[in-house]
């Protein structure tokens, strides 16, 4: 997961917004229309902040036998097949370092680098052997070969990714050795020799 790094900031922001809501309510108590408008806006803002944290808690990064699924709340999701992972390493970086900034849960950077920072930092770097398509929040597509993301247990995440990549590679190698040539579809065996005139 990645929610722990931003929890204090978001809960603190929600508290400050609640205090502001009460203060503005007291100041505008003699103006019911203005009070109602600001109350609705303030409650909406508090719910958005709490929703951002809830999305981070309920949509964690997921590692399966063949895919690494990276998420940034409800705003971004990137599926990386494990066969494309060249390396994974612990790599603590602050938001704007090396090729672009990033905010909580947003992507930034150029040159094939996607940063999915939380609380202004990334902790894991994954290098890919070939690019994948990353779709941004508003639908813009970008080819990326390096993905930097935050994980609460970064070293544990790197160990798990490396183990899953090794296991996926062994499974592919074992499947390739176990399949007899007769079972390979005709189109996969290559062109047939021409026997006619």
Q: Give the Cβ contact number of residue 38 at 10 Å.
A: 17
Q: Are 129 and 101 in contact (CB under 8 A)?
A: no
Which pLDDT value is given to residue 77? 84
% of the chain beyond a pLDDT of 90: 47
pTM score of the predicted model: 0.71
pLDDT digits (tens, 9 = 90+) for 52-90: 899 888 888 999 988 999 988 877 888 999 999 999 999
| Per-residue confidence band for 97, with pLDDT thresholds at 50, 70 and 90 | low
pLDDT digits (tens, 9 = 90+) for 149-178: 999 899 999 999 999 999 888 877 777 665
Domain borders along the chain are 4-58, 62-177
55, exposed or middle or buried, with CB in 10 Å at 0-12, 13-18, 19+? middle
């Amino acid at each position: 997961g990645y929610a722990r790094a931003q929890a204090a900031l978001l809960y603190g922001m929600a508290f400050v917004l609640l205090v502001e809501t009460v203060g503005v309510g007291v100041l505008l108590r003699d103006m019911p229309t203005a009070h109602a408008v600001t109350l609705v806006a303030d409650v909406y803002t508090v719910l958005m902040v709490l929703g951002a944290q809830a999305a981070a808690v309920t949509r964690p990064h997921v590692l399966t036998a063949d895919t690494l699924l990276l998420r940034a709340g409800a705003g971004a999701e990137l599926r990386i097949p494990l066969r494309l992972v060249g390396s994974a390493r612990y790599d603590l970086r602050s938001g704007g370092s090396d090729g672009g900034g990033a905010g909580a849960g947003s992507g930034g950077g150029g040159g094939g680098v996607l940063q999915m920072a939380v609380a202004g930092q990334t902790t894991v770097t994954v290098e890919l052997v070939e690019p994948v398509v990353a779709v941004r929040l508003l639908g813009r597509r970008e080819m990326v070969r390096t993905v930097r993301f935050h994980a609460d247990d970064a070293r544990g995440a790197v160990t798990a990714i490396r183990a899953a990549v090794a296991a996926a590679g062994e499974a592919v190698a074992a499947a390739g050795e176990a399949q007899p040539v007769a079972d390979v579809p005709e189109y996969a065996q290559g062109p047939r020799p021409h026997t006619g005139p």
